[in-house]
Amino acid sequence: MSFDTIIIGAGPAGMMAAIRAAERNRKVLLIERNNILGRKLLISGNGRCNLTNSCDIEDFLGKFSESRDFLRNAFAKFFNIDLLLFFKDSHVKFKTEQNGCVFPQSDNSSDILDVLKLKLKNKNIKVLLGERVCKITVRNKKIEGVLTYSRKHFAAEHIAITTGGLSYPETGSTGDGYKIARRLGHEIVPLKPALSPVRIKERFIRDWQGISLGDVRLTLFAGNEKIDERSGEMIFTHFGLSGPVVFDISASVYDALRLKKEVTIAINFKPALDHKVLNTILLSEFKRNPRKTIKNTFKNLLPQGIIRQFLGNCDINGDKNTSQITTEERKRLAKGFFDLRLTVKDEMPIKGSIITRGGVNTKEINPKTMESRLMKGVFFAGEVINIDAKTGGYNMQAAFSTGWVCGDNI
């Protein structure tokens, strides 16, 4: 079977590339190893699908690692407004939350997938499910097509690799694209977990499982050296820390652990306050309730499930009345609010991270077309490329933008 274009991988990047190529009257084959389309898209954003972010292009690019310059052209051609218009044409309604994150109004990622599937159908794109590509076939340095593990060959002179990374392998992201790219001579930047939970050594963390904090500051140390600092929301789990701010600092955690030093995370529970203000608040609380126990007074300051262990870490007897607290004890409490130290055990393995850091070297891809600089007729889009960003819709937008540029040129 012969096609103008073959897209390998039906995630956001692959589906967008296929749709855009078909709009240009290309005869397109979209091959997906799973038996359904967009499996990872369905679980993105906890099933809500954080499609993009409303911030401007410079702030947007600033959320990416070293790939930000590579993406500038793709975002100039197809950015957040273009993406929303792409879906609004199908009557999907969106909402923008306080942090700029954009979600479908229904909080249901299937609304996004349904639009993509309908566009694939309306553009007469051939979709082949349950078929896994093992390599791109080349003869005399010219692309011929793809060969699947079931020994089927499909011919095309233009092929896009949009297979995703290594995270969440149950969704089909098992690194196939990296193997295919390597066979063509591409360098794969070492693969690492990104946007990952962090495991903590202290066992009391298990008692805090499920407790979330709306605004904290995390400071990362390797030995006595400060490595990184981030602010945002987090949640305690049975093994450690998770949530947006933990995901954002996780890449630095991974790198810090390679220094072979003790890695710790300091939690500042009240980053909006300084020591003087916090001390004033504590004095006011204690004077207002002199006969109240310290642990009961702290219900106004911390989540209930944290208080007992928090006071223990500060070496404070929570059963004492607030009138009995000493100046030294109040100092220890203030320090506990600003600097609760936890020891990092390790980061979750790459398969448990949200995205993959590393991938096909951006220096080997033309950022204006997404075509390989090493093999004419081969294109890349999405997470298979060495592009990664913080949480907030940035990675999803990058997948759609690079997919659109790929489809516009393939």
3-state secondary structure string across the chain? CECCEEEECCCHHHHHHHHHHHHCCCCEEEEECCCCCCHHHHHHHHHCCCCEECCCHHHHHHCECCCHHHHHHHHHHCCHHHHHHHHHCCCCCEEECCCCEEEECCCCCHHHHHHHHHHHHHCCCEEEECCCEEEEEEECCEEEEEEECCCCEEECCEEEECCCCCCCHHHCCCCHHHHHHHHCCCCEEEEEEECCCEEECCHHHHHHCCCEEEEEEEEEEECCEEEEEEEEEEEECCCEEECHHHHHHHHHHHHHHCCCCCEEEEEECCCCCCHHHHHHHHHHHHHHCCCCEHHHHHHHCCCHHHHHHHHHHCCCCCCCEHHHCCHHHHHHHHHHHHCEEEEEEEECCHHHCCEEEEEECHHHECCCCCEECCCCCEEECHHHECCCECCCCHHHHHHHHHHHHHHHHC
CATH architecture of the domain formed by 197-347: Orthogonal Bundle (1.10)
Residue 330's pLDDT is 86
pLDDT at res. 229:
96
Assess whether pLDDT exceeds 90 at residue 267.
Answer: yes
Lowest mean pLDDT among 128-142, 177-191, 273-287: 273-287
* pLDDT tens digit sequence for 111-137: 999 999 999 999 999 999 999 999 999
Could you give the count of Cα atoms lying within 13 Å of 131 in the half-sphere of its Cβ?
20
Average pLDDT over residues 65-93: 93
Over the stretch 7-38, which tens digit does the pLDDT of each residue have?
Answer: 999 999 999 999 999 999 999 999 999 999 99
The tens digit of pLDDT for each residue in 101-111 reads 999 999 999 99
In this prediction, residue 191 carries a pLDDT of: 95
Out of 132-141, 181-190, 274-283, 395-404, pick the least confident: 274-283
What pLDDT, on a 0 to 100 scale, did the predictor assign at position 349?
86
- pLDDT value, residue 67: 84
What digits encode the pLDDT tens for the residues 321-358?
Answer: 988 988 899 889 988 999 999 999 987 889 889 999 99
- Show Cβ contacts of residue 259 under 8 Å, excluding neighbours closer than 6 positions: 222, 223
| Residue 353 CB-density burial (10 A; 0-12 exposed, 13-18 middle, 19+ buried) | buried
Tokens of 380: 């890349």
pLDDT at site 27: 98
How high is the pLDDT of residue 75? 98
**How many CB atoms within 10 Å of residue 253?**
25
Q: Where in the chain is the domain with CATH 1.10.8.100?
A: 197-347
Mean pLDDT, the chain, rounded, equals 94
In the chain, ranges of CATH 3.50.50.60 domains: 5-193+350-409
Check residue 279 and give its pLDDT: 86
Q: 227-231, 301-305, 355-359: which range is least confident on average?
A: 301-305
Q: Which residues pair with 32 in a beta bridge?
A: 129
Would you say residue 222 has pLDDT above 90?
A: yes
Residue 376 has pLDDT above 90, yes or no: yes
Which range among 19-28, 92-101, 295-304 has the greatest average pLDDT? 19-28
CATH annotation of 5-193+350-409: 3.50.50.60
pLDDT at 386: 97
Q: What is the pLDDT of residue 287?
A: 87
Query: What per-residue confidence (pLDDT) applies to 201?
Result: 96
pLDDT at 193: 92
User: What pLDDT is recorded for position 352?
Assistant: 86
pLDDT at 366: 98
Q: Are 386 and 361 in contact (CB under 8 A)?
A: yes
